[in-house]
């Protein structure tokens, strides 16, 4: 036997045992009655040597039951609110220029700013000079007044951002509840669809999702050592090769030390606590951290996303903040991503504008706290905590952290600007569709889907065994490992299993055999040409290798497109298909080759194909 055969055998066995090990939480999860799967009974049923209990397959809305809500964002009302605020801005601006204005407010239809003045032409010229990029003067205003209206492209962009703001707020709140694998997506006509698998209280969902977002600015209390004592009471967070936190994190929490700069110029090691799940961190804060802080302090929670590409994980961390809310998002008139051209080629930043009163408050706040971090908190979640590097009044910018490429930083700048505008101008939402999926539907679909998968698997295995005999049996062994590997990877990623996902899994079982059919047919041709068994096996695998790769890559391209642009059931189907295709290439090329090499190791070996 070649020495490489033993390495390949070790890899095959390692993948097999890892797959079985990774599926232990999933087995424990589905072994319990539906009502006990998300409680203490499940946590206790997972052995201590098994993977993290959170790494199991989840059931989608069509299998588990839950709530589906369709929400409409009242973008027209948001536009009218923007007109009201712009009217206040224009009035303060003109008063500062000592122009003869007596009032400024929305017009009768609510879509235009109407300024009452004794000198309309001068007012129109001054406003156009300052606000001309966003507003025009349509004319037709009553005598002694002048109208200003937002340009069409500005309104279109604002309406799109209003829907993004609502979606961002909803995601934050659903994440705070700890709902497993929610599906939240934007649809046409300013609508948002929310699927909450396993959530059973529609009244609570409607109440919490319909509330207005609350944005707050708070100062980080980095000078305080109130949380440093936890270093002796809980484990340190595991560190990755880059020095950052490595996942997964213990459910009981861990501490991490970060370098923070103080206004005095001193750098100190501040402590924060982190967990993989927000609900776990809430418990730790309530029981262990709150007793350590004073009445003038509070604990904030932030989310950190780890990983790149398609696979990303996240954990939640604490911030020690001053309890006083220094400023709210009500004073922000606009926020947008931009580029700071003062730094070479330019760095993405968040630019924002304050109302007149907000500018006064922000200037005082930033002047008094130069060099400190200012936390931007939306719905009790710290979205960002940048350092105050200079005095900010009517306009300012938020710089972003390092260590990411330009596109990632620009995306973060866009996300933060959405958050800021969400607090400044939350677009009202109305729930116009509510649907509950009963729990009795899920088990029936799971049962039928399981039967379909088993019948499909059995039919394929029986065909391979009867048609290819020994080689078919080897392909069947690889097919079983393929199925285990697909389910194990889905469990590792915490994937949501939907009915289309089950269909994708059954499809991958059939496609997994396709490569073995090509290999077996090629080996048959080589044997008919008079080659020895060893020669036929070697050339059979070598000559179909690129054919197998090409067929899988073309299917992968289609699956990636489905995942990128699809949503809901289509996306679930695509994810399952991608995992199945990758597993199929491994089992058809590596696993079967290891077994066939063993059975044909002797010179006089025979192979039944």
Specify the 3-state DSSP secondary structure of 384: strand
Q: Which residues contact 68 (CB under 8 A, 6 or more apart)?
A: 61, 193, 194, 195, 196, 433, 434, 435, 436, 437
Q: Which of 69, 58, 172, 38 is nearest to 572 (CA)?
A: 58
542 burial type by CB count under 10 A (0-12 exposed, 13-18 middle, 19+ buried): exposed
Q: Do the beta carbons of residue 82 and residue 158 sit within 8 Å? A: yes
**Quick one: average pLDDT of 168-194?**
73
Q: How far is CA 370 from CA 220, 264, 325, 332, 373, in A?
A: 12, 10, 17, 20, 9
Q: Which pLDDT belongs to residue 445?
A: 63
Which pair of structure tokens corresponds to residue 288? 């262990």
The CA-atom distances, in angstroms, between 296 and each of 218, 226, 299, 371 are: 12, 12, 11, 20
What's 275-328 look like in SS3?
ECCHHHHHHHHHHHHHHHCCCCEEEEEEEEEECCCCCCEEEEEEEEEECCCCEE
Kindly state the tokens that stand for 126: 């001054």
Contact 340, 406 (CB under 8 A): no
Concatenated DSSP letters of 23-61: THHHHHHHHS-GGGTTSHHHHHHS-TTSS-TT-SPEE-H
Q: Please say if the pLDDT value at position 406 is more than 90.
A: no
Average pLDDT, integer, range 18-24: 91
C-alpha radius of gyration, the chain, whole number: 30
CATH homologous superfamily of 3-63+438-599: Multidrug efflux transporter AcrB transmembrane domain (1.20.1640.10)
Q: What is the length of the chain?
A: 609
SS (H, E, C) 409-475: HHHHHHHHHHHHHHHHCCCCEEEEEEEEECCCHHHHHHHHHHHHHHHHHHHHHHHHHHHHCHHHHHH
For the cut 70, the answer to whether the pLDDT of residue 128 exceeds it is yes
Higher local confidence (pLDDT), 224 or 498? 224
> pLDDT of 53-108, one tens digit each?
778 887 776 677 778 888 888 888 888 878 887 888 898 889 888 999 998 988 88
Cis peptide, bond prior to residue 248, ω within 30 of zero: yes
pLDDT of 122 higher than 60: yes
CATH number of the structural domain 75-152? 3.30.1360
Candidate ranges 114-128, 347-361, 367-381; pick with highest mean pLDDT:
114-128
3-63+438-599 against 75-152: fold identical = no
* pLDDT, average across residues 209-226: 81
Q: Average pLDDT of 145-159?
A: 91
Write out the H or E segment, with its range, that includes residue 197.
strand 191-197
Residue-wise pLDDT tens digits, 265-304: 899 999 999 999 898 999 999 999 999 999 889 999 998 8
Most confident segment among 309-323, 393-407, 585-599: 585-599
Confidence at residue 403, expressed as pLDDT on a 0 to 100 scale? 46
pLDDT confidence of residue 149: 94
Find, among 422, 429, 432, the residue nearest to 158 by Cα: 422
The three-point CA angle 196-202-204 to 5° equals 100
pTM above 0.95, yes or no: no
Strand partners, 183: 195
To the nearest whole number, what is the mean pLDDT of the chain? 82
- Confidence bin at 180 (pLDDT 50/70/90): low
The residue extents of the domains of the chain are: 3-63+438-599, 75-152, 215-428
What are the tens digits of pLDDT across the range 422-453? Answer: 554 356 677 777 777 655 455 666 677 678 77
Q: Are 215 and 422 in contact (CB under 8 A)?
A: yes
């Amino acid at each position: 036997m070649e020495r490489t055969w033993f390495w390949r055998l070790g890899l095959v066995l390692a993948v097999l045992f890892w797959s079985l090990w990774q599926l232990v939480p999933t087995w424990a999860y589905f072994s319990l009655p539906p009502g006990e799967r998300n409680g203490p009974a499940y946590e206790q049923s997972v052995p201590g040597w098994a993977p993290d209990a959170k790494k199991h397959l989840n059931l989608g809305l069509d299998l588990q039951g839950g709530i589906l809500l369709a929400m409409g964002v009242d973008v027209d009302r948001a536009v009218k609110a923007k007109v009201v605020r712009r009217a206040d801005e224009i009035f303060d601006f003109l008063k500062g220029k000592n122009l003869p204005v007596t009032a400024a407010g929305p017009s009768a239809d609510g879509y235009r700013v109407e300024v009452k003045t004794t000198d309309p032409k001068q007012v129109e010229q001054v406003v156009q000079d300052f606000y001309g990029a966003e507003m025009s003067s349509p004319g037709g205003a009553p005598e002694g007044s002048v109208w200003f209206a937002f340009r069409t492209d500005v309104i279109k962009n604002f309406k799109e951002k209003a829907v993004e703001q609502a979606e961002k707020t909803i995601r934050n709140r659903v994440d705070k509840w700890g709902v497993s694998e929610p599906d939240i997506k934007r649809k046409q006509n300013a609508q948002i669809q929310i699927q909450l698998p396993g959530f059973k209280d529609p009244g609570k969902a409607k109440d919490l999702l319909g509330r207005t977002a609350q944005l707050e600015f708070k100062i980080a209390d980095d000078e305080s050592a109130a949380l440093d004592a936890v270093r002796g009471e809980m484990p340190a967070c595991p560190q990755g090769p880059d020095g950052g936190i490595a996942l997964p994190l213990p459910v009981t929490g861990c501490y991490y030390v970060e370098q923070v700069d103080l206004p005095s110029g001193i750098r100190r090691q501040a402590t924060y606590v982190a967990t993989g799940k927000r609900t776990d961190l809430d418990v730790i804060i309530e029981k262990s951290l709150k007793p350590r802080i004073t009445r003038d302090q509070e604990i904030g929670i932030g989310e950190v996303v780890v990983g790149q590409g398609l696979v990303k994980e996240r954990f939640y961390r604490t911030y020690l903040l001053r309890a006083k809310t220094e400023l709210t998002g009500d004073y922000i008139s606009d926020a947008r991503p931009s580029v700071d051209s003062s730094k070479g080629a330019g760095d993405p930043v968040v630019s924002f504008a304050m109302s007149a009163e907000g500018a006064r408050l922000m200037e005082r706040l930033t002047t008094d706290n130069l060099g400190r971090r200012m936390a931007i908190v939306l719905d009790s979640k710290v979205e960002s905590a940048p350092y105050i590097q200079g005095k900010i009044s009517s306009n300012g910018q938020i710089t972003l952290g390092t260590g990411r490429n330009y596109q990632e930083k620009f995306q973060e700048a866009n996300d933060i600007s959405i958050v800021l505008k969400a607090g400044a101008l939350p677009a009202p939402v109305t729930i116009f569709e509510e649907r509950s999926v009963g729990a009795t539907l899920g088990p029936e679909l799971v049962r039928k889907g399981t039967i379909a998968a088993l019948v499909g698997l059995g039919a394929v295995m029986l065909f391979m065994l009867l048609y290819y005999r020994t080689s078919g049996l080897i392909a069947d062994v690889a097919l079983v490992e393929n199925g285990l590997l697909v389910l194990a990877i889905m469990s590792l990623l915490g994937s949501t299993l939907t009915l289309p996902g089950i269909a994708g899994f059954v499809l991958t079982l059939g496609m997994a055999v396709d490569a073995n059919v090509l290999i077996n047919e090629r080996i048959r041709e080589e044997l008919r040409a008079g080659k020895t068994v060893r020669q036929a096996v070697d050339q059979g695998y070598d000559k179909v290798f690129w054919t197998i790769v090409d067929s899988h890559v073309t299917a992968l391209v289609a699956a990636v497109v489905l995942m990128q642009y699809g949503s809901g059931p289509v996306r679930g189907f695509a994810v399952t298909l991608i995992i199945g295709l990758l597993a199929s290439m491994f089992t058809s090329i590596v696993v079967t080759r290891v077994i066939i090499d063993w059975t044909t190791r002797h010179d006089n070996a025979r192979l039944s194909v």
